[in-house]
Amino acid sequence: MAQKVLDVKDLSIDFDTLNGTVKAIRDVSFHLDKGETLALVGESGSGKSITVRTIMRLLADNETITNGTIDFEGKDILKESKKEMDKIRGGKIAMISQDPMTSLDPTMNIGNQVAEPLRVHEGMSKHKALEQAAEVLEEVGIPNARERMRDYPHQFSGGQRQRIVIAMAIIDNPDVLIADEPTTALDVTVQAQIIKLLKDLKDKIGTSIIFITHDLGVVANIADRVAVMYAGKIVEYGTVDDIFYNPQHPYTWGLLDSMPTLSMNSDRLNTIPGTPPNLINPPKGDAFYARNKYALKIDHEKQPPFFKVSDTHYAATWLLDKRAPKVTPPESIQKRQAEFKKRGEADHD
């Protein structure tokens, strides 16, 4: 079995708002293997960003961790001192943020910004750090990187800025790279370039990536494993094949079904009706109950546990209970599952 770099267990986070305490993350557990890319998928507000910000310990003042551990290199990140955290951040765990237009300091030239992690973590001289920054900038595909070291962020396009942010994140060879929707703010062609860059870099420096997105197309492209989040909980996780071809949770069905495909002959997009529940008073049972047309009565009353689908694949839905009635998933999902079966049989031959 692959070595775990990061192990998140039973993480729960509350945050205080004027309307009351929001239970934003509820008993989230997942792990990250060495060298793999794990995608965290879910709609806005499902808690993806808060989860990874907790790994970086970059929580806002009104957020409290109520339970859980995050094991990294044999130590619990949640118990590290401020000083230790400064060492981990940007050195061993680095982050790429969502909006490249606002993620760079507008008043500092990019050379200095990219070199900063080396200065902080390796105590490198300014000259040497800048030299290395130029190399990394070239590596991430900034043309004429050397001449542009003294330019400021506003002199670069959005895609280039995201490359600079990536350069900043990888310059100190982190063990874990957290990419928080790194392509959401970019247009589609640039998206593809950035994804390719991330994949290349991952192979090159052997880092593990947690990739947050709500774009399933991107997931298929980059991830090894996928965890689907809904209303502050993980509802299903497995390999990319598990999730794309053999999804079990009705929420995952809904997500996949709302992805447009070329063969679609209707000009309407499928959507999941309704909105996520208010997490100030999270529902007693399955949070997806209200929007789930396959919901069972028990979904309303009791949280579903994780049911094992295969060694790599788990889903939290009562539909997987032995006593549950058989339901027929949407047509597109059936097609996916049929293909999955076919593949499985091919593997056995």
Partner 1 sequence: MTKYIIRRIFYLILTLFIVASVTFFLMKFLPGTPYSNQAKLQPSQIAIMNQKYGLNKPLWDQYLIYMGNLLHGNLGTSFQFNNQPVTQLIAHDIGPSMQIGTQAMIVGSVLGILLGAVAAIKKNTWVDSGATFISILGISIPSFVLAVLLQYYFGYKLQWFPVALWQNFSSSILPTLALAAFPLANVARFMRTEMVDVLDSDYIELAKAKGDSERKTITHHALRNSLIPVITIVGPMAVSIMTGSLVVENIFSIPGIGNQFVQSILTNDYPTIMGLTIFYSFLLVVIILVVDILYGIIDPRIRLGNGGKE
Residues in touch with partner 1 (CB under 8 A):
56, 58, 61, 82, 86-91, 94-95, 97-99, 102-109, 116-117, 120-121, 151-152, 154-155, 165, 168
Q: How far apart are the first and last CA of the chain?
A: 25
Q: Which is nearer to partner 1, 51 or 97 (CB)?
A: 97
Q: Which is nearer to partner 1, 113 or 246 (CB)?
A: 113
Q: Minimal distance in Å, beta carbon 226 to partner 1?
A: 24
Q: Minimal distance in Å, beta carbon 64 to partner 1?
A: 16
CA atoms of 32 and 29, how far apart (whole Å): 11
β-strand partners of 42: none
Query: How many CB atoms neighbour CB 52 within 10 A?
Result: 21
Q: Which is nearer to partner 1, 9 or 119 (CB)?
A: 119
82 contacts: CB under 8 Å, gap ≥ 6: none
Q: Which is nearer to partner 1, 38 or 168 (CB)?
A: 168
CB 209 within 8 A of CB 177: yes
CA atoms of 179 and 163, how far apart (whole Å): 12
Q: Minimal distance in Å, beta carbon 238 to partner 1?
A: 29
Q: Minimal distance in Å, beta carbon 343 to partner 1?
A: 39
Q: Minimal distance in Å, beta carbon 179 to partner 1?
A: 12
The encoded tokens of residue 242 equal 């598990």
Angle between helices 110-121 and 158-170 (to 10 degrees): 10
Q: Minimal distance in Å, beta carbon 81 to partner 1?
A: 12
CA atoms of 282 and 67, how far apart (whole Å): 17
Q: Which is nearer to partner 1, 115 or 295 (CB)?
A: 115
Q: For the stretch 95-115, what's the b/e string if a residue is b when 16 or more beta carbons lie within 10 angstroms of its beta carbon?
A: bbbbbbbebbeeeebbbbbbb
Q: Which is nearer to partner 1, 142 or 295 (CB)?
A: 142
